[in-house]
């Protein structure tokens, strides 16, 4: 994977990745049949917009258009985790479990595509952070890598749930 030397170029690629993620999750949320998967993708799309906003702010700092703002570093939104989504959707559990019998290749493909996007983004941010010379840019990229790791784990979890809900409940033991 190519990691540019200049932080501005790193951020341009990051914007492209986040935009692709937003489009993929928005489109996936329209096509997926499982309501839990749909909610997860809708939330991930919103997180991608948040990442785009924060990346643009850091880009503006690097190009001298604004000063560093500590709030840029961290998302002000509740983290996307399977647990957060699942807790909010407990009332839909019966519907979601019923839908599992009808989920098809499309649902699995949508979630697998999302997993691959998040894994790629996580790796890109982690590797870019290792190469970053500016301490603040390095910290920002590390935070994004952690957030993408959370997205990745949430998607793996929902994939496991959709594939075998009985096993998921047996191994997770809680909501």
pLDDT tens-digit series, residues 71-106: 666 665 555 555 555 555 444 545 555 555 555 547
- Residue 152: inside a domain: yes
| Mean pLDDT score, 36-57 | 92
- Residue 107: inside a domain: yes
What pLDDT score was predicted for residue 95?
Answer: 54
- Residue 75: inside a domain: no
**Residue whose token pair is 């932080």:** 7
Q: For the chain, what is the domain count?
A: 1
- Residue 174: inside a domain: no
| Mean pLDDT score, 27-55 | 91
Please report, to the nearest 10 degrees, the dihedral formed by the alpha carbons of residues 36, 37, 38, 43 taken in order: 90
pLDDT above 90: residue 67 = no
- Residue 156: inside a domain: yes
For residue 145, the domain's CATH number is 1.20.1260.10
What pLDDT score was predicted for residue 14?
Answer: 96
Per-residue pLDDT band at 36 (split at 50, 70, 90): confident
**Residue whose token pair is 């910290």:** 139
What pLDDT score was predicted for residue 102?
Answer: 53
CA-wise closest residue to 73 among 46, 53, 54: 54
């Amino acid at each position: 994977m190519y990691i540019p030397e200049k932080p501005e170029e790193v951020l341009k690629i990051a914007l492209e990745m986040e935009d692709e993620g937003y489009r993929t999750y928005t489109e996936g949320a329209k096509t997926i049949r499982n309501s839990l998967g749909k909610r997860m993708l809708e939330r991930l799309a919103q997180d991608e917009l948040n990442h785009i906003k924060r990346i643009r702010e850091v880009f503006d700092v690097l190009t001298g258009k604004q000063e560093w703002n500590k709030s840029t570093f961290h998302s002000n939104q509740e983290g996307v985790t399977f647990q957060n989504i699942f807790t909010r959707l407990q009332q839909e559990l019966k519907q979601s479990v019923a839908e599992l019998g009808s989920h098809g290749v499309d649902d699995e493909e949508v979630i697998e595509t999302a997993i691959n996007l998040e894994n790629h983004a996580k790796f890109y941010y982690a590797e870019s952070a290792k190469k970053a010379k500016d301490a603040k840019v390095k910290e920002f990229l590390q935070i994004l890598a952690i957030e993408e790791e959370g997205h990745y784990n949430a998607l793996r979890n929902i994939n496991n749930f959709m594939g075998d809900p009985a096993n998921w409940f047996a191994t997770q033991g809680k909501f």
